[in-house]
Amino acid sequence: MKTGLRENDRLNGFDFEAHNAEVRETWSAFHAGTPARVPIILGTNTRYFMLNRDANPCGLDFKKYTQNPDIMFEAQLRFARWSRHNLLQDAELGLPEKWRIGVDFQNYYEAAWFGCELTYCPGEVPDTRPCFADNPERVMEHGLPDPFGGVLARGQDYLNQFKCRAKKEEFLGLPIEINPAGFGCGSDGPMTVACNLFGAAFVCTAMASEPDRLHKLLDFITEATIVRMSAWRRLSGISIPQPGFGIADDSIALISTKMYLEHLLPYHQRIYRHFGTEAPGSIHLCGNATRHFKTLRDELNIRTFDTGFPIDFAAMRAELGEDVKLFGGPHVELLRTGSVQEVEDETKRILECGVMRGGGFVLREGNNLAPGTPLANTEAMYHSGRKYGIYSRPEVAA
């Protein structure tokens, strides 16, 4: 039977069938509110694989990956195979029934869609520079951008080429399915996009000194985002509205909750009202944004927080209550540079601080696994999570 394993894969000799059965049971119990243990995952993106010599032995760089749809298509398949045979976590491992890949323009595509030039930095993901810093209103000169224009036109072309290849090709003898969801369908949030377009200094200063000016810009960004996301979600077959809808907005970590309420909440409300339902929503926030969590819970009905660092998990559980789901765990730099014992100790500390109360905690790195992280450390987090993340029934119900 074909396994997809290679001689130097970390999980050689691993019982994928038993693992996957346990993973299905673990997540089913978590979603039902009756977990036996904490689920444990790893957040990775192309940067992790691209800058990892084991996953990318040919040294493929982001410029070639980004500018050639065939290279992107083939690299994603290779990275998916490597991930499934090397990264121990509560996800399906081993060969899948079908490979699922999609167009990958990282986090730069929103700013690039508005007109910022894409740049390639050695050893990093592609990025943009604030091209409207000299005259922010210039972003509005030509009206709302075409949802399928600019970099998104290239993305749609890539998507079509991916679909054509997937119809006639297999990888390791298995079919390939193209996942249109994600690219064009989400947002890093209106403040983060504004910082990418105009610079964080302008955005934060304008909040204090020129609020009306900033509101006009945020209104434009929000309307353009809603139009673009709506068009791409219709193309991708994603329902509007969508239960559990969520976005990100990491840049709100730069401001106080008072400033958030005055300057950003109205735009978040517009987005969540358009795409969400009455069901609780979610948000991803890297950095130290925990001072906003209670406000986000109360004002936007957010009940799932994907966190970064630093996070006081005990304080968050006490403040937010036991019906809120929290994702988080050891700092990525500890995972990258710490010892196995330090990772085990930190995982144990987090799990025993009270964050597990209510059954709504998912253990993961905080946040996004860094290239060069030893697999011995991610496995230490996994095994420590399995050891100390066990629930007793009264604890879940407490």
Distance CA(51)–CA(56), nearest Å, equals 7
Distance CA(165)–CA(149), nearest Å, equals 23
pLDDT digits (tens, 9 = 90+) for 12-26: 999 999 999 999 999
pLDDT digits (tens, 9 = 90+) for 281-315: 999 999 899 999 999 999 999 999 999 999 999 99
Percent of the chain exceeding pLDDT 70 equals 98
Q: Can you give the pLDDT at residue 83?
A: 98
What band does 2 get if pLDDT is binned at 50, 70 and 90?
low
Average of per-residue pLDDT across 240-245: 97
Q: Can you give the pLDDT at residue 142?
A: 96
**The dihedral sign for the CA sequence 75, 73, 229, 182:** negative
pLDDT digits (tens, 9 = 90+) for 142-155: 999 999 999 999 99
> DSSP code of 398?
-
The domain limits of the chain are 49-86+95-238
Taking CA 364 as the corner, what is the angle to CA 358 and CA 370, rounded to the nearest 5 degrees? 165
pLDDT digits (tens, 9 = 90+) for 157-201: 999 999 999 999 999 999 999 988 778 999 999 999 999 999 999
For the entire predicted model, the pTM comes to 0.96
pLDDT digits (tens, 9 = 90+) for 207-218: 999 999 999 999
Q: Can you give the pLDDT at residue 128?
A: 97
pLDDT digits (tens, 9 = 90+) for 86-121: 999 999 999 999 999 999 999 999 999 999 999 998
Distance CA(12)–CA(366), nearest Å, equals 27
Q: Can you give the pLDDT at residue 180?
A: 81
Q: Can you give the pLDDT at residue 397?
A: 44
Q: Can you give the pLDDT at residue 183?
A: 82
Q: Can you give the pLDDT at residue 307?
A: 97
Sole residue written with tokens 């929290």: 326
Distance CA(49)–CA(47), nearest Å, equals 6
Q: Residue 213, by phi and psi: left (phi above 0), alpha (psi -120 to 50) or beta?
A: alpha
Taking CA 64 as the corner, what is the angle to CA 62 and CA 69, rounded to the nearest 5 degrees? 105
pLDDT digits (tens, 9 = 90+) for 375-390: 999 999 999 999 999 9
Average of per-residue pLDDT across 125-130: 96
Pick from 32, 30, 40: which is nearest to 351 by CA?
40
Distance CA(221)–CA(110), nearest Å, equals 10
Length of the chain in residues, anyone? 398
pLDDT digits (tens, 9 = 90+) for 54-94: 999 999 999 999 999 999 999 999 999 999 999 999 999 99
What band does 224 get if pLDDT is binned at 50, 70 and 90?
very high
Q: Can you give the pLDDT at residue 176?
A: 98
User: Is it the case that residue 3 has pLDDT exceeding 90?
Assistant: no
Contacts of 308 (CB under 8 A, 6+ apart): 250, 285, 286, 287, 288, 289, 328, 366, 367
pLDDT digits (tens, 9 = 90+) for 317-359: 999 999 999 999 999 999 999 999 999 999 999 999 999 999 9
**The dihedral sign for the CA sequence 307, 312, 313, 316:** negative
Residue pair 237/199 in contact by the 8 Å Cβ criterion: no
Q: Can you give the pLDDT at residue 238?
A: 94
